[in-house]
Amino acid sequence: MAPSFAVHARRGAAALATAAVLGAAAAPAAFADGSPSPAAPGLYGAKDPKFDGVFRQSLVLVAQGTTGRPDEAAVNWLAGQQCSDGGFAGYRADTGKACDPKAGEFTDATSAAVQGLAAAGGRSAAVQKGLDWLKGHQNEDGGWGMTPGAASDANSTSIAIGAFAAARQDPAKAAAKSGKSPYDALLSFQLGCDKKEDERGAFAYMPQKGELQANDLASAAAALAALGKGFGAGAPKQSDKPVKPLECTGDENAKPQDAEAAADAVAGYLAKKLDADGGQLKSSMPGAPEGPDFGATADAVIALAAGGHREAAGKPLAWLESKDSKTAEWAKGDPGRLAKLILAAHTAGADPRAFGGTDLVRQLADTAPKPQATATPQAKEEKKDGGSDSSRWWVLGAAFIASVGVGILLSGRMKKKQ
């Protein structure tokens, strides 16, 4: 919400979006000014969609579903990105070109798209095709990796669980041929009583040299999935549920045995970690500068609030809303990030239209694609004559951008993979 996108990324870190490895195309996915390609009408955001187009659009639709009605043009754009086999790539510049089922389709993008289309409504056939794709690429341990055939990891498994939940299908019944359910895989990544006290209940992204290492990004994603919920999870109406750390009664091998216990244990871990760091989760993406991880903190708010832990969710929510956090600067103009904050506010019971003095809903609407202006008589004349000097230089500049394959890589997972 596993993801984003996410938005608003993993291989030891999560990101707002899922990265797709695409070469430079004959025409750029986004031109020098950052505006979306004419090949993608309906896409939110001005940044090059090459790596995160599907993920950020999915987050937008889920967020819009909590504040009103999703933009129909945006829904059509996302549905048009689906491959014939039901999967999704990170972004398809040419949807008339068939997808390569062995390369380019991603679990995270597919799971996010299913959640976005489910939130939009009226796309049951596309949603089911996406779920069928996930079922067709499920590992024997019940989980999923970032790409078909890749070893299962906590984040991809979490976002896939969210996809089934968003479609109102029981994730526990999405069993692999081996009989293993997604929760069998997910719980295998949770740290138990054999770890340090401040790590117990956390989730690892995946085993590293046979060892599970606590990862805040994986923990936030898994905390929501263990509840059987996706990006658009609402908070229960019950009174506040206190958090508590994983109880260890002398058995160093003890760990949660079911999804409910796993959700409680990771909530205890997250709440303690957030409290120790002043309401924020720190960046754990390899190579990233030290500092707050806004996306992971928002994910933690969603997971804690969805689990009924209102008080525990309140501290990170307050940090995100504070001017000192500079969250508004982080999210401004980025639809995936704005959507993630809207979802955090929605789940925790805050007003996304007055989020720390910022109207997130308005800002998200401002990232919608602008209608193309009608050509003026002067522009038509320039086109007839071959274009003005400035327009010819602009085209040459765009061609240069295309030739070098300029794009914005948002996925920490892909950074590590490369």
- pLDDT tens, residue by residue, 79-119: 999 999 999 999 999 999 999 888 899 999 999 999 999 99
Report the distance separating Cα 370 and Cα 383, nearest Å: 22
- CB contact burial 287-318 (16+ within 10 A = b; e otherwise): eeeeebbbbbbbbbbbbbbbbbbbebbbbbbe
Name residue 355's beta-bridge partners: 358
Model pTM above 0.75: yes
Report the distance separating Cα 62 and Cα 213, nearest Å: 31
- pLDDT tens, residue by residue, 127-176: 999 999 999 999 999 999 999 999 999 999 999 999 999 999 999 999 99
- pLDDT tens, residue by residue, 212-233: 999 999 999 999 999 999 999 8
Report the distance separating Cα 33 and Cα 30, nearest Å: 8
Range of lowest pLDDT (131-135, 157-161, 256-260, 359-363): 256-260
Residue 286 confidence (pLDDT): 67
Q: Is the pLDDT assigned to residue 385 strictly greater than 90?
A: no
Tokens of 169: 């299908």
Residue 389 confidence (pLDDT): 37
Structural Rg of the chain based on CA atoms? 21
| pLDDT band of 238, cuts 50, 70, 90 | confident
Kindly list the distances between the CA atom of residue 356 and the CA atoms of 62, 116, 363, 388, in Å, as whole numbers in the listed order: 21, 26, 13, 46
Query: Could you give the angle at which helices 107-120 and 124-136 cross, rounded to 10 degrees?
Result: 160
Report the distance separating Cα 103 and Cα 150, nearest Å: 12
Q: Alpha-carbon dihedral of residues 124, 118, 175, 411, nearest 10 degrees?
A: 130
Kindly list the distances between the CA atom of residue 360 and the CA atoms of 39, 44, 277, 377, 403, in Å, as whole numbers in the listed order: 27, 14, 25, 38, 36
Report the distance separating Cα 316 and Cα 275, nearest Å: 8
Residue 290 confidence (pLDDT): 81
